[in-house]
Amino acid sequence: MSDTLYLAWRYMRYNRGKTAILVASLALLLYIPMGLQLLVDRTAARLRTRADTTPVIIGDKGSSLDLVLRALYFEGEVPAAIPYAQVTRIAATGLADAIPIHARFAVRQQPVVGTTIDYFRFRGLATERGGLFTGLGECVLGAAAAEALDAGPGDKVVTSPENLFDLAGSYPLRMRVTGVLSRSHSPDDDAVFVDIKTAWVIAGLGHGHRDLAEKGAEGQVLERDGNRITANASVVQFNEITPQNLGSFHFHGDRSALPVTAVIALPHDDKSRTLLLGRYLGRDEPCQIEEPSAVMNEVIATVVRVRGYVIAVALLLGCGTLLTICLVFLLSIRLRRRELATMEKIGCSRSLVAALVGSEAAIVFVVALALALLLALLTAWGGESLIRGLIV
């Protein structure tokens, strides 16, 4: 280490409190625009990637942002459901394949996504352990979800009630894990995938219960009228689907009316895409059709605009901070006038005195820059969910 740097280092070490405040101020000054730029760029890139690989989404006529965020990232407000008939409607057009998404429930913090096997093919997802679900009451975990739930093939996970105080709401369903997906570095990693019918069971739209016609069920019968049996309040509803009770599970009403959050449409070509978009432009059309890339570009444009304002404000504040830091250095030199004069008396040149003070400033700047870079990297690493949280 050069003598000048050594003396500067010793001075700063001795005055570590003052130095720490200077470094922290400067690091924040450098970090805010740098971190924001990095965060927004990386987030925008990742949001775009997911959106660009999802051609078209159909959902309820409400917030297009809520629809896209829920269908792509399984986050944010749950949009109003549309009937499953929309899935068959799209398939019937012959213009696109349709994949239903019902993303309303959760297993602790992990979103439960009801869909079909086609979804895994579409996203290029494969299992790392075990296999995909094959029936009712089974689930496949994303890599991060498996870690968070500490579960793997053969384990059981239980859905969380939406509202503890809503007795009419969905009841927890215990599901068997059939497999864990390979990490895809996408929102799929955090999800618990189930068959769309399992999602309806979680919603309470399908259920299984003890056959009241069988022997020993008399205590749960309220009334018998020929073949018609009315159960009393003590009837047991199953909270787990097993090979033994699988046959008792059924859905009431028209299946085409059962809900889905969104439908991902995969047009066969550009022409099909255009035609499909046109089909949903009618005023009486109850659904909206969205191109996720367009929706996300709008969001990103807003974020970028806000970033511009924040950076402008940060620069103004930064100028103030920088001037204050300069003032601190100047006052420090004034306070050290006697010490610096002694050095000159002993034989130190003025240029070396200047180099000494300059070295102190340089050390503060380098350490602050390193700290700011570290913070920026941490932000880029863990900040995407933060900014998505802010959007949501």
Partner 1 sequence: MIRIEQLDFEYPAGGFRLRVGELAVQSGARAAVIGASGCGKTTLLHLLAGILTPAAGTIRIDGREITGLPDAERRDFRIGTVGLVFQEFELLEYLDVLDNVLLPFRINRSLHLDAPARERARELAESVGLGDKLSQPVPRLSQGERQRVGICRALVAAPSLILADEPTGNLDPDNKERALDILERFAADRGATLVVATHDHALLPRFDQVIDFAELLA
Q: How far apart are CA 320 and CA 27, in angstroms?
A: 14
164/346 with CB nearer partner 1: 346
CB 259 within 8 A of CB 81: yes
Q: What are phi and psi of 223, to 5 degrees?
A: -155, 145
7/391 with CB nearer partner 1: 7
Two structure tokens written together for 152:
């793997």
Q: How many CB atoms lie within 10 A of CB 244?
A: 9
Nearest approach in angstroms of CB 109 to partner 1 is: 51
8/303 with CB nearer partner 1: 8
Q: How far apart are CA 366 and CA 157, in angstroms?
A: 50
Q: Which residue, chain included where needed, has tokens 């990095």? A: 38
CB 160 within 8 A of CB 106: yes
Q: How far apart are CA 79 and CA 260, in angstroms?
A: 10
Nearest approach in angstroms of CB 361 to partner 1 is: 16
Two structure tokens written together for 277:
């978009």
Two structure tokens written together for 139:
């689930």
Nearest approach in angstroms of CB 355 to partner 1 is: 10
215/338 with CB nearer partner 1: 338
Nearest approach in angstroms of CB 45 to partner 1 is: 47
Contacts to partner 1 by CB under 8 A: 3-4, 6-7, 10-11, 13-15, 338-339, 342-349, 352
Nearest approach in angstroms of CB 366 to partner 1 is: 20
Nearest approach in angstroms of CB 297 to partner 1 is: 56
Nearest approach in angstroms of CB 367 to partner 1 is: 17
- Cα dihedral 47, 52, 53, 59 in deg (nearest 10): 90
12/140 with CB nearer partner 1: 12
Q: What is the DSSP string of 216-268?
A: T-GGGEEEEETTEEEE-TTPPBPSB--TTTGGGEEE-S-GGGSEESEEEEEES
3/298 with CB nearer partner 1: 3
115/359 with CB nearer partner 1: 359
